[in-house]
């Protein structure tokens, strides 16, 4: 293959600038590699972005909560200097959560576990005590799961081997294989408490009725109870800004508005990428992709991937779509019978566990869904006034959505305003001041809008794919190809389609950096 000298060349070409790819790029740039990142969006960060949707209002277009990444050495030990050098600052809101149920009851969660215990005890003393045992159980197992998530597949002991070292390791191995709803129903007997814990377990939009989701109630509640729904001051995009600053400090570059359509192969090796406008970007050492694997397989001839990989991608479940309504409000959304200060940044409405099971099943079956069994009402301006003018609030209503449009519409584009009306009306049943008098502006993002803004979020599925047993650990994204190195030599994959999956964890990015740096003969610093 001849290289056109007008083309862009770097040691590492990174396709897609999500936070995982940026973390990997930052490690590589710090190790002395020249790094060029291309992304289809006008701004970097993918789902870690804060956008001024309306003048003076800074909305997180995707993620707001960054709890899981707090356990990643990138934040915990500040290995990239994001906190110390680049000023990334996190806040841990208290109250942690407030959730309303269909019968009008509510539960508030607080950073003090005894205060959460007291709330649970209003419904069941037995379950309230069980909750403290549940947290203590998780304390025993937390480090094994954290180590497994923050280590590439195939490096070191497997999760099952790590669990052999923790008290009740066999119990944890069974929990892993159960569903979240099975685990909650086994541990707790009162339905409000079950519904509350399932509402928390749904935060990462997994199939909470499927085997493999059983540890979710522990991971989510453990993180929330330890340090809340942690959010970056100034908006989600502050994490991206810090990563970009670190990459640029080491000479790396980012080109936005550049959509990759093809992998460049030379003698079977990936040596770069081509964008839709015909530009070519050549890699001296390697290409790192965060393009969804469903798209990636179409960017090189089928025979380059091999049958095992293509089968893995064809049978890969893209997950559950999201639907978001962004509101500008002139009041704090306030729960019926409570004070404004009782609203948590992470608030919402839950239905009973069986409704939740039925909803995720209907979504997987590609049936239309109009009611939401899980609703998040996120108001980050409660603890971060920089996001809105004084006295005003930015509110994000988030619900799972069906793959097919509801209300008999042929496209989600035709159904989204009606669905937004229905979701706002539903929220007002528990939070009555969410109404036309307090809502000053509304922006609706249906599944197709979410995908248009980020091709990695196919049909609005933002978490890189389901995390059930067939798509987790050594099977993600495809059996035999879970360690970031792809079947095409020179090509590596990161992002939500790789272990341990989507959400703001940074783990796929750091893990990919570990693998690439080993293969490039570089020391990984930590
Ligand atoms: C409304 C909403 C709310 C959410 N809230 C939360 C939350 O509070 N907490 C949480 O943890 N998670 C949340 N998520 C999920 C979270 O945003 C994602 O799981 C996360 O961003 C995935 O990160 P990533 O690094 O895998 O890639 P992404 O953030 O998806 O980034 C991928 C990047 O690759 C680029 N790309 C894709 N294809 C191409 C191509 N062909 N050429 C060039 N570039 C390409 C995209 O433009 C994008 O910039 C939310 C998602 C949405 C939509």
513 pLDDT band (50/70/90 cuts)? very high
CA dist 238 → 86, 119, 231, 297, 341 (Å): 9, 34, 10, 32, 26
The Å distance, Cα 295 to ligand 1 centre, comes to 15
d(CA 344, CA 373): 19
d(CA 351, CA 365): 20
Answer whether residue 5 shows pLDDT above 60: no
Q: What is the mean pLDDT of the segment spanning 111-126?
A: 98
The Å distance, Cα 276 to ligand 1 centre, comes to 20
CA atoms within 13 A on the CB side of 149: 24
Residues 360-412 pLDDT 10s: 999 999 999 999 999 999 999 999 999 999 999 999 999 999 999 999 999 99
Substitution candidate for ligand 1 out of 238, 287, 456 with most atoms within 8 A of CB: 456
Residues 165-213 pLDDT 10s: 999 999 999 999 999 999 999 999 999 999 999 999 999 999 999 999 9
Answer whether residue 3 shows pLDDT above 80: no
Q: Determine the angle formed by the axes of helices 191-201 and 180-187, rounding to 10 degrees.
A: 150
6 pLDDT band (50/70/90 cuts)? very low
Strands (E) across 169-234 are located at 231-232
- With contact defined as beta carbons under 8 Å apart, do 297 and 305 qualify? yes
DSSP state of 365: T
Nearest of 351, 457, 454 to residue 403 by alpha carbon = 457
- SS3 string, 309-357, reads HHHHHHCCCCCCEEEEEEEEECCCCCCCCCCHHHCCCEEEEECCHHHHH
d(CA 469, CA 474): 10
Residues 72-87 pLDDT 10s: 999 999 999 999 999 9
- With contact defined as beta carbons under 8 Å apart, do 60 and 217 qualify? no
Residues at CB less than 6 angstroms from ligand 1: 15-20, 38-41, 46-48, 62-65, 259-260, 290-291, 322, 324, 398, 450, 454-457, 462-464, 495-496, 502-504
- SS3 string, 119-144, reads HHHCCCHHHHHHHHHHHHHHHHHHHH
526 pLDDT band (50/70/90 cuts)? confident
Answer whether residue 1 shows pLDDT above 60: no
Q: What is the mean pLDDT of the segment spanning 4-13?
A: 78
CA dihedral 113, 115, 118, 120 (to 10 degrees): -60
d(CA 180, CA 167): 21
Nearest of 447, 152, 458 to residue 313 by alpha carbon = 458
Domain limits of the chain? 8-52+62-90+233-316+465-519, 94-228+322-400+402-445
The Å distance, Cα 437 to ligand 1 centre, comes to 33
Q: Was domain 8-52+62-90+233-316+465-519 assigned CATH 1.25.40.90? A: no
The Å distance, Cα 361 to ligand 1 centre, comes to 24
Judged by DSSP in three states, 204 sits in helix
Residues 438-487 pLDDT 10s: 999 999 999 999 999 999 999 999 999 999 999 999 999 999 999 999 99
- Nearest atom (ligand 1) to Cα of 68: 11
* pLDDT at site 360: 97
Q: What is the mean pLDDT of the segment spanning 1-29?
A: 85
d(CA 188, CA 127): 6
d(CA 442, CA 444): 7
Nearest of 42, 47, 35 to residue 9 by alpha carbon = 35
Substitution candidate for ligand 1 out of 453, 462, 467, 507 with most atoms within 8 A of CB: 462
CATH number for the region 94-228+322-400+402-445 comes to 3.90.660
The Å distance, Cα 386 to ligand 1 centre, comes to 23
Average pLDDT, the chain: 97
Answer whether residue 417 shows pLDDT above 70: yes
Substitution candidate for ligand 1 out of 13, 17, 18 with most atoms within 8 A of CB: 18
Q: What is the pTM of this model?
A: 0.97
* pLDDT at site 220: 97
Substitution candidate for ligand 1 out of 46, 287, 325 with most atoms within 8 A of CB: 46
Q: What is the percent of the chain with per-residue pLDDT over 70, rounded to a whole number?
A: 99
List the residue whose alpha carbon is closest to atom 53 of ligand 1.
62
* pLDDT at site 20: 98
Q: What is the mean pLDDT of the segment spanning 302-318?
A: 97
Residues in the chain: 526
* Helices assigned H by DSSP within 211-301: 216-227, 237-249, 293-296
* pLDDT at site 7: 63
List the residue whose alpha carbon is closest to atom 38 of ligand 1.
291
Q: CA angle at residue 325 from 320 to 331, to 5 degrees?
A: 140
- Nearest atom (ligand 1) to Cα of 295: 41
- With contact defined as beta carbons under 8 Å apart, do 144 and 163 qualify? yes
Residues 143-166 pLDDT 10s: 999 999 999 999 999 999 999 999
276 by Cβ neighbours in 10 Å (0-12 / 13-18 / 19+) ranks as: exposed
Residues 202-234 pLDDT 10s: 999 999 999 999 999 999 999 999 999 999 999
Pair type for strands 322-329 and 393-400: antiparallel
Answer whether residue 278 shows pLDDT above 90: yes
Output the six-digit token pair for 354: 């069986």
């Amino acid at each position: 293959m001849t290289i056109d000298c007008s083309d862009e060349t770097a040691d590492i070409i990174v396709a897609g600038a999500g936070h995982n790819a940026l973390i990997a790029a930052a490690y590589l740039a710090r190790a002395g590699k020249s790094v060029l990142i291309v992304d289809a969006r006008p701004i970097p960060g993918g789902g870690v972005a804060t956008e001024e949707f309306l003048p003076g209002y800074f909305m997180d277009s995707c993620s707001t909560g960054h709890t899981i990444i707090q356990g990643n050495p990138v934040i915990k030990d500040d290995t990239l200097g994001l906190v110390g050098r680049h000023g990334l600052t996190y806040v841990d809101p208290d109250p942690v959560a407030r959730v309303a149920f269909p019968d009008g009851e509510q539960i508030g969660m607080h950073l003090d576990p005894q205060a959460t215990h007291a709330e649970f005890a209003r419904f069941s003393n037995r379950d309230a005590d069980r909750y403290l045992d549940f947290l203590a159980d998780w304390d025993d197992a937390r480090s094994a799961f954290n180590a497994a998530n923050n280590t590439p597949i195939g490096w070191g002991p497997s999760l099952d081997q790590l669990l052999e070292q923790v008290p009740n390791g066999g119990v944890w191995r069974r929990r892993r294989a159960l569903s979240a709803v099975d685990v909650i129903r086994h541990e707790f007997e009162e339905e409000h408490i079950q519904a509350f814990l399932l509402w928390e377990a749904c935060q990462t939009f997994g199939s909470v009725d499927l085997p493999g989701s059983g540890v979710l109630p522990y991971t989510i509640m453990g993180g929330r109870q330890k340090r809340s729904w942690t959010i970056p001051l100034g908006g989600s995009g502050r994490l991206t800004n810090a990563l970009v600053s670190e990459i640029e400090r080491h000479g790396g570059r980012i080109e936005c508005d550049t959509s990759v359509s093809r992998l460049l192969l030379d003698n079977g090796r990936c040596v770069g990428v081509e964008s839709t406008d015909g530009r070519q970007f050549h890699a001296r050492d390697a290409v790192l992709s965060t393009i969804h694997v469903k798209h990636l397989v179409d960017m090189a001839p089928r025979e380059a991937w091999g049958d095992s990989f293509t089968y893995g991608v064809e049978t890969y479940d893209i997950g559950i779509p999201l639907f978001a309504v962004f509101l500008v409000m002139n009041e704090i959304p306030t729960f019926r019978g409570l004070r404004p200060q009782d609203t948590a940044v992470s608030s919402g409405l839950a239905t009973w566990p069986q409704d939740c099971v039925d909803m995720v099943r209907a979504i997987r079956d590609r049936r239309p869904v109009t009611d939401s069994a899980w609703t998040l009402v996120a108001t980050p301006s409660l603890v971060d006034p920089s996001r809105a003018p004084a006295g005003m609030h930015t509110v994000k209503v988030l619900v799972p959505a069906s793959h097919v449009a509801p209300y008999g519409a042929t496209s989600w584009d035709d159904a989204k305003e009606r669905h937004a009306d229905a979701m706002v009306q539903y929220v007002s049943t528990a939070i009555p001041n969410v109404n036309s008098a307090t809502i000053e502006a509304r922006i609706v993002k249906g599944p197709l809008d979410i995908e248009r803004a980020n091709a990695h979020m196919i049909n609005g599925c933002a978490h890189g794919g389901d995390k059930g047993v067939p798509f987790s650990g050594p099977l993600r994204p495809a059996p035999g190809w879970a360690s970031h190195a792809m079947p095409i030599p020179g090509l590596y994959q990161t992002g939500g389609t790789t272990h341990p999956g989507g959400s703001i964890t940074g783990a796929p990015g750091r893990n990919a950096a570990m693998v690439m740096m080993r293969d490039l003969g570089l020391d990984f610093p930590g």
